[in-house]
A = this chain, B = another copy of it.
């Protein structure tokens, strides 16, 4: 029986292009590192090996509440000792809370002989999202659990997630160090959308899913545009329009806001292009005098995974 596992749990892109609240993509980096050790002492004890001052009370920690939801379905009297080292900066818009919550339940499931389905793990991990943002949502959780490209088709009456293979893609993400509250990002969303615009949006969703499934990069590029959410959030992220323009000039397929921002992602055909695009993205924020981080890496085909176990 395993007693301890080490999991890498990656950042993810939610609200991918036109797919607000629905489409997600797993990255391979950055990632959180989570060590979970099985204990005969019931309860969850969390230690954070990172500088962000995140709460360690299990009731106030996204991994803690996700593990509590999982333990409710476990008849054995066991507990977990949890060590989390966050590679993903909180508040960056690339699924920091989802990585910790989903990575923790992936680790727990490995310790428990993989008795839970991926759909159940999504259900447990969403408790972390509920704690972090006030709403049970799966758009970052799904790509962490399944890897690759995911469609959150429905959460009610049952969780329905479609996991799809992604073509080879390299992703450049820039995280400008500006504070952007999720509540502010949500406040600017329109309550109602003209039908014609909604139709254009789901035409792009159809094109984007087709492009991913047929590895048609040009189609992906033509279909990424978000007519509804990104225009509303454009004023909240200085440099966004310029960053996209320069990234496209550097060869990116297309991109947009990651999650509810402030990070910006761009999809690319190969690593060399992604590196050039990452540099172009960084250049925009350097000129604006805004600190930033750039990440470049391939799609995370497997999502969160067990690196070692004993």
Chain A residues within 8 Å of B, Cβ to Cβ? 18-23, 151-154, 160, 162, 164, 189-195, 198-207, 209-210, 213-214, 219, 222-223, 228
Chain B residue with the shortest CB-CB distance to A161: B207
Point out the residue from B154, B201, B210, B223 that lies within 8 Å of A198, measured CB to CB. B201
Q: Given contacts A22-B203, A214-B213, A228-B195, are A219 and B162 in contact (CB under 8 A)?
A: yes
Residue among B21, B195, B204, B223 making CB contact with A199, cutoff 8 Å = B21
| Choice from B160, B200, B210 contacting A151 with Cβ under 8 Å | B210
Contact across chains for B22 and A210 when beta carbons are under 8 A apart: no
Contacting residues, chain B, for A152 (C-beta < 8 A): 203
Kindly list chain B residues whose C-beta atoms are within 8 Å of the C-beta of A192: 192-195
- Please tell me if the beta carbons of A210 and B209 are within 8 angstroms of each other in the complex: yes
Contacts of A209 in B (CB 8 A): 205-206, 209-210, 213
CB distance from A141 to the nearest CB of B (A): 15
In the complex the two chains form, what is the Cα distance from A160 to B152 in whole Å?
A: 26
Beyond A193-B192, A195-B191, A223-B153, whether A162 also contacts B201 by CB under 8 A is: no
**Measured between alpha carbons, how far is A188 from B201 in the docked complex, in Å?**
21
Given A191-B195, A194-B191, A214-B164, answer yes or no on A206-B153 (Cβ-Cβ < 8 Å): yes
Given A190-B195, A192-B192, also A206-B20 (CB < 8 A): no
Bound CA–CA A56/B191 (angstroms): 49
Residues of B within 8 A of A195 (CB): 189-193, 228
Give the complex CA separation of A205 and B162 in angstroms. 12
User: Smallest distance from the beta carbon of A165 to chain B beta carbons, Å?
Assistant: 10
With known contacts A199-B22, A214-B213, A151–B193 Cβ distance under 8 A: no
**A22 nearest in chain B by CB position:** B203
Chain B residues whose CB sits within 8 angstroms of the CB of A22 once the complex forms: 199, 202-203, 206
Cα-based distance from A21 to B209 in the complex (angstroms): 17
- What's the minimum C-beta distance from A161 to chain B, rounded to whole angstroms? 10
With A193-B193, A195-B191, A195-B193 in contact, is A23–B206 under 8 Å at CB?
yes
Complex Cα–Cα for A125 and B190 (A): 37
User: What are the residues of chain B within 8 A of A191 when measuring CB–CB?
Assistant: 194-195
A162 touches B206 (CB 8 A): yes
Smallest CB separation, A52 vs chain B (Å): 31
In the complex, are the beta carbons of B199 and A20 less than 8 A apart? yes
CB distance from A225 to the nearest CB of B (A): 10
8 closest residue pairs by CB, A with B: A153-B207, A202-B202, A192-B192, A198-B198, A209-B209, A213-B213, A151-B206, A202-B205
